[in-house]
A and B are shown apart, each in its own frame.
Chain A
Amino acid sequence: MKVPLKARLLLPAAAWMALFQLLPLALIVLVSVCMRGQYGGVQWRLAFGSYGRILDPLYVPVFSRSLAQALLATALCVLLSFPISYWMARLEKRAQGVAVLLVLIPFWTNILVRLYAWMFILGRTGLVNSAAAGLGLWRDPLEMLFSQKSVLLGLVYGHLPFMILPLYAALEKIDWGLVDAARDLYASPAQAFLKVVLPLSKPGLIAGSILVFTSIPCDFATPDLLGGAKNMMVGNLIQQQYLVVRDWPFGSALSLFLMAGIGVGVFAYLRQERAAA
């Protein structure tokens, strides 16, 4: 049989993605309904016990903490992003390009470098404690790391560009003549902002919020490095199931549960946004 040229071109990539992308994802579903092997791994027997264990009260704080942190971090990212995005959108074209570049550089700097920066600043022997000791402010070093607040700071710091860039992209498209028109018709600056700019920035706001909100629960590096065991989030719980406890079925069930939760959250958010519009 002769395979047409177009299929021969597409086939390698399609086969690669089916084998190394689709199949592994399907395996997560499959493993989640199997039993844990005696020494880790999987026993190929149908079992739904892993899903039952998700509801164990032991894990409730982990889930509620993750949800709270994701919501808080997303809200803070919105608040912090709006002024800079608005400022960027009103710069001259050339300056806008430079501003985008300036936001992209930290975005492309490795996440571990950015987390280490905060460990270095806030740690027991870190910059703040050293400076305080040098200035005679306090003697005993303060523990500023390993709290919910330090994790939140790291999450906001790490995800801020995810919010700034889409928000700026939406604001940049706004026809500022509309704002002038509103002002001409005696809208106060605040009214013009609330009635014109804010609704027009919605697409960027929604895209940015979804990006930030959905990637936070899956992050295990930030809670691990800035939070420690007491401030564990779902991402850490899942990571542990694979790399420490070696309970693959439970880890798989947890991650599917998380995906479903994120999916429902995003769906509800989009629906509510559409209803409001």
Chain B
Amino acid sequence: MKRSPALAAAGVATLVFLYLPILILIVFSFNASRYGAAWHGFTLDWYRRLLENKSILASTENSLLIASCACVLSTLLGTLAAVAQGRFAWKRLGLLEGMFFLPIVIPELMMAIGFLLFFGLIGLRQGLGTLIVAHTTFDVPIVWLVVRARLKKLDPRLEDAAMDLGATRWMAFRKVTLPLLAPAILGGALMAFAISLDDFFISFFVSGPESTTLPVQIYSMLKFSIDPQVNALSAALFVASMSLVVLAWVLQGGESHAH
């Protein structure tokens, strides 16, 4: 059973199962036919129309704006919290940690409902603002976890050594710890950005009529008006997420080689 060809075949077959449907979508995004899946020749028309589609452009813009704001906010909040926890002595933080873990443990549907009730009851109109708040909330724990994990691996004596050599605590942090944390902060930020762009469930509950995100827009296209533009859009999104994952993988690989 060590390296049986049957096992390899099963493994490859599972990968084919994961990829084939998406690859089919991509192939048919170049199909000239307006309806259905009969091949009528090659075209780039659907991509051209996609670039002229005002509502898709607007929701893409919204998605990027929301993901950027949520990414910056959550990176700030998450990093500060991780540093506060990792670099200072605390007596009891169990409850607080539990609160940070909540968005990771709790189903997205519950979070979505909570946001909808909260914004509804305080009378906040759903729109870009509510989306940014919601996205920041599920992004904070991501950054916090990634930075905290890195901080735990750092040797606290590095800062002590710097201070022995006359650095103030702030200087030791800035010149020693922060550069060592930078890859983790960047990695956490990248992940927060990607998760925010990808989110559908929560955005669906907290977006307003004039502020859909790209996934919410795709959902309504799938429900009401499918045409090959959706194939083109899917292909574009697949390529985008693939590039992000590969980029993260390469960055991580580079890190593990360095050590």
Contact = CB atoms under 8 A, between A and B. Distances in A.
Interface in A119-140: 119-121, 125-127, 129-131, 133-134
B51 to A, nearest CB: 18
Contacts of B14: 80-81, 83-84, 160, 164
A9 B147 CA distance: 14
A71 B226 CA distance: 32
A16 B137 contact: yes
Interface stretch (A62-70, A101-109, A200-208, A267-275): A101-109
Contacts of A84: 10-11, 14-15
Interface residues of A, number: 87
Interface residues of B, number: 80
A27 interface: yes
A276 interface: no
A109 to B, nearest CB: 5
B102 A21 contact: yes
B38 A117 contact: no
A193 B1 contact: yes
B46 interface: no
B132 to A, nearest CB: 11
A9 B81 CA distance: 6
Nearest to A12: B77
Contact of B117 (A31, A83, A114): A31
A184 to B, nearest CB: 14
Nearest to A176: B2
A9 B219 contact: no
Nearest to A42: B121
B40 to A, nearest CB: 11
For chain B, what secondary structure do more than half of its interface residues adopt (helix, strand, loop), or is it mixed? helix
The 5 closest A-B pairs by CB, nearest first: A24-B114, A87-B11, A125-B36, A117-B21, A9-B84
A120 B237 contact: no
Nearest to A220: B109
Nearest to B35: A125
A105 B19 CA distance: 9
Interface in B75-92: 76-78, 80-81, 83-85, 87-88, 90
A127 B22 contact: no
B241 to A, nearest CB: 5
A10 B234 contact: no
B99 A17 contact: yes
Contacts of A120: 21, 24-25, 28, 37, 231
Contacts of A235: 109
A235 B24 CA distance: 29
Contacts of B21: 114, 117-118, 120-121, 157
B45 interface: no
B222 A116 contact: yes
Interface string A86-104: 1110100000010101111
A251 B113 contact: yes
Interface in B165-210: 194, 198, 200-201, 205
Contact of B241 (A41, A110, A115, A221): A110
Given A10-B85, A130-B37, A218-B110, A113 B22 contact: yes
Given A16-B140, A221-B200, A117 B84 contact: no
B10 A87 contact: yes
A42 B118 CA distance: 12
A243 B103 CA distance: 22
B238 A20 contact: no
Nearest to A216: B107
Interface stretch (B53-61, B154-162, B243-251): B243-251
Contacts of A18: 99
A28 B99 contact: no
B30 interface: no
Contact of B110 (A14, A87, A243, A255): A255
B237 A109 contact: yes
A194 to B, nearest CB: 12
B1 A13 contact: no
Contacts of A87: 7-8, 10-11
Nearest to B169: A5
Contacts of B149: none
Contact of B99 (A21, A108, A239): A21
Contacts of A103: 15, 18
B241 A114 contact: no
